[in-house]
Amino acid sequence: MSMATKNDYLLVVEDVPDILVLLVETLKFKGYRVMTATNGEEALEVIQKGLPKLIITDILMPKMDGFNLVHRLRLNPATRNIPVIFLSATYVAPEDKEFALTIGVTRYIEKPVNLDEFFPLIEELLSVGKYEAKPLNELDFYEGYKKRLETKLRHKNTQITRDQHLFETLDDSQKMAIKASMQTAIREKEEIQKLLDHIREQIESLTKDK
């Protein structure tokens, strides 16, 4: 474990309580000091009090998601070179991963997390320390971000339509599981739509200023 002082810590950013608890307890068991946040805004507040050695963050979160969090970190010289691991079950397409690396994410892991790969990766990143990262300009970031959100929204709409058709064919004993899946997909769709509306406003504002 490569934590130089007692004040060094890992920051875990995750909005799903069960996943957050699992990650935190597992990391603490391995001897790491861990701080937590449930979205990007909370993460920035934690970081203002002291820089983490490593950030482990989900992508799809309320208020400020992982993409926006990393962009904010890379714009700030004080936080630009903190290594960041993305964890995601939603953004798993090759284009999602490519965009993540473009904006300055250090490593990308799909959920569910394989702990046998996760811990060696943490050790590797901590042993290297700071990473050289260059921020994207605002317009390039938001244009790329918009494309990822539009694609994800299409996928969510397709998933919801498919689940609705399937729901109608099932008997009552089978409907509970698919209903839970539909509710999760609808909630994620609404969050993506909110983000997309915000991003379009940002792009409009930036292009007007030119």
CB atoms within 10 A of CB 4: 9
What pLDDT is attached to residue 144? 94
Confidence of residue 173 (pLDDT cuts 50, 70, 90): confident
CB 60 within 8 A of CB 191: yes
Is 133:80 a contact under the CB 8 Å cutoff? yes
Handedness of CA 112, 115, 121, 127 (dihedral sign): positive
> Within 10 Å of residue 147's Cβ, how many Cβ atoms?
13
Pair 136, 102: CB distance under 8 Å:
yes
Q: Which residues contact 10 (CB under 8 A, 6 or more apart)?
A: 27, 32, 33, 34, 35, 52, 53, 54, 55, 56, 122
Compute the mean pLDDT over every residue in the chain, rounded to the nearest whole number: 89
**Mean pLDDT of the 29-54 span:** 95
